[in-house]
Structure 1
Amino acid sequence: MKTITFYSYKGGVGRSLALSNMAIKLSQLNKKVFVIDFDLEAPGLQFKFEEDYEHLKNKCQLGLVDYIHGFANENILPESLEDYTCELRAKNINDTNIQFLSAGNFEQNDYWRKLATTKWSQLFYSKNSYGIRFFLDLKAKIEKEYNPDYLLIDSRTGITDISGITLKIFADEIVILAVNNTENLFGTNKIITSLTSSENELLNHSPKIHFVLTRLPFPKEPEEKAQEFTILKRWEKEIFKSSNGKIQDVSIIHTDKQVNHKEIVKIGDKAKVNTITYDYLNLFEKLIDGNLSSENETKFEAEHLFNKALVEKDSLLKLELLNKAILLDPSRYEYFKERGFTYFLSRQIDQAIGDFSRALEIKPGDTICLLYLGNLFYNKQDYQKAIEYLTQIDYQLAWKSLLLGMAYNNQGNPQKAEECFTEGIQHNPEDPELRNARADILRRKGNYEDALIDIYKAIELAPDKGIWFATLAEILLNMGKKEEFYLNFNLALSKNINESQLRSAKDLYAKLKDDERFLELLEKYQLDINEILKD
Structure 2
Amino acid sequence: MKTITFYSYKGGVGRSLALSNIAIKLSQLKKKVFVIDFDLEAPGLQFKFDEDYSLNSNDSNKGLVDYIHSFANENILPENLATYTCKLKAKNINDNNIDFLSAGNFENDEYWRKLATMKWSQLFYSRNSHGIRFFLDLKAKIEKDFAPDYLLIDSRTGITDISGITLKIFADEIVLLAVNNTENLFGTKKIITSLTSPKNELLNHNPKIHFILTRLPFPKEAEDKAYEYSIIKRWEKELIGVSNGKIKEISIIHTDKQVHRKEIVKIGSSSGTNTITYDYLKLFEKLTEDNLDEKTDLKFEAVKKAENFFNKALMEKDTLLQLEYLNEAINLDPSRHEYFMRRGYLLHSTNKFDEALQDYKEALKIKPNDPLIFFQLGNLHYSLGDYTTSLEYLNQVSFPFDWLLCLQGMALEKLGKTSDAEEKYSEGIDLFPTAFELLNGRANLLRKQKRFDEAYSDIYKAIEIDPDQGFLFATLAEINLESGKKDDFYLNLNVALSKNTNVSQLNTAKEVYQKVKDESRFLQLLEKYQISLDDLFQ
TM-score tier, shorter chain, comes to: 0.7 to 0.9
Is 1:244 paired with 2:244? yes
The verdict on how the C-alpha distance between 1:48 and 1:510 changes in structure 2, with shifts beyond 3 A counting, is closer
> Residue 276 of structure 2: SS of its match in structure 1?
helix
Partner amino acid, structure 1, of 2:367: K
* Secondary structure of 2:287's aligned partner: helix
Match of 1:368 among 366, 372, 377: 372
The equivalent of 2:426 in structure 1 is 425
Aligned to 1:178: 178
The alpha-carbon deviation at position 388 of structure 1 amounts to 5.5
- The Cα shift of 1:396 comes to 4.4
Q: What is the match of residue 276 of structure 2?
A: 276
Matches of 1:511 and 1:270, distance apart in 2? 45
- Per-residue CA deviations over 1:390-439 (Å, capped at 9, x if unaligned) read 455455454445445555666xx4x2266335413322454433443444
1:62-85 superposed Cα distances (whole Å, 9 cap, x missing partner): 332332232233321111112222
Deviation at 1:107, TM superposition (A): 3.9
SS in structure 2 opposite 1:291?
Answer: coil
2:209 is aligned with 1:209: yes
The 5 Å alignment of 1:74-473 reads 74-267=74-267, 269=269, 272-312=272-312, 313-314=315-316, 315-316=319-320, 318-381=322-385, 386=390, 389-390=393-394, 392-393=396-397, 395-403=399-407, 406=410, 413=415, 415-416=416-417, 419-420=420-421, 422-429=423-430, 430=433, 431-473=435-477
Q: Does 1:512 align with 2:516?
A: yes
Deviation by residue 1:475-508 (Cα, 9 ceiling, x = unmatched): 3433444344344444444444344443344444
Instruction: Pick the structure with greater CA Rg.
Output: 1
**Are the counterparts in 1 of residues 58 and 83 from structure 2 also a CA contact under 8 Å?**
no
Shift in Å at residue 380 of structure 1? Answer: 4.6
Alignment partners' CA distance in 1, 2:455 and 2:228: 57
- For residues 15-51 of structure 1, what are the alpha-carbon distances to aligned partners after superposition, in whole Å with 9 as ceiling and x for unaligned? 2222222222222333222122223333333333333
Per-residue CA deviations over 1:179-210 (Å, capped at 9, x if unaligned) read 23344334333333333344443333322211
In the aligned structure 2, how far is the partner of 1:512 from the partner of 1:318? 41
Report the counterpart of residue 506 of structure 2 in structure 1.
Answer: 502
Residue number in structure 1 paired with 2:23: 23
Q: What stretches of structure 1 of length at least 5 have no aligned partner?
A: none
User: Runs of 4 or more off by more than 6 Å in structure 1?
Assistant: none
CA deviations over 1:231-269 (Å, ceiling 9, x no partner): 212322333322222321211122233334543332365
Listed as ranges, the gaps of 5+ residues in structure 2 are none
Bigger Cα displacement from structure 2, 208-217 vs 132-141: 208-217
Match of 2:254, as an amino acid? H
Give, in whole Å, the separation in 2 of the partners of 1:8 and 1:42: 13
Question: Quick check: 115-124 or 136-145, which moved more?
Answer: 115-124
Going from structure 1 to structure 2, the CA distance change for 1:487 and 1:107 (only over 3 Å counts) comes to closer
Q: What is the distance in 1 between the residues matched to 2:525 and 2:273? A: 47
Q: CA deviation at 1:6?
A: 1.4
Q: Displacement of 1:282 after TM fit?
A: 1.2
Q: What is the CA–CA distance in structure 2 between the aligned matches of 1:443 and 1:193, rounded to whole Å? A: 72
- Displacement of 1:288 after TM fit? 1.2
Q: Distance in 2 between matches of 1:460 and 1:237?
A: 53
Query: Could you tell me the percent identity over the aligned residues?
Result: 64
- For 2:515 and 2:506, locate their aligned partners in 1 and report how far apart those are by CA, in whole Å: 14
Residue of structure 2 aligned with 1:482, choices 474, 486, 490: 486
CA distance in 2, matches of 1:261, 1:408: 33
What amino acid is the match of 2:227?
Q
Letter aligned with residue 222 of structure 1? A
- Of the structure 1 ranges 446-455 and 242-251, higher mean CA displacement relative to structure 2 is found in 446-455
Q: Secondary structure at the match of 1:3?
A: strand
Q: Cα RMSD between the aligned structures?
A: 3.2
Question: The residue matched to 1:55 in structure 2 has which SS?
Answer: strand
CA distance in 2, matches of 1:135, 1:200: 18
Which amino acid in structure 1 is aligned with residue 248 of structure 2? Q
Aligned residues between the structures: 531
Return the offset for 1:87. 2.4
Query: What SS class does the counterpart of residue 275 from structure 1 fall into?
Result: coil
The one-letter code sitting in structure 2 at the alignment partner of 1:76 is I
Does the Cα contact within 8 Å between 1:20 and 1:49 map onto a contact in 2? yes
- Aligned residues of 1:405 and 1:418 also touching (Cα < 8 A): no
> Residue 47 of structure 2 corresponds to which residue in structure 1?
47
Query: 1:310, 1:329 → 2: CA distance?
Result: 10
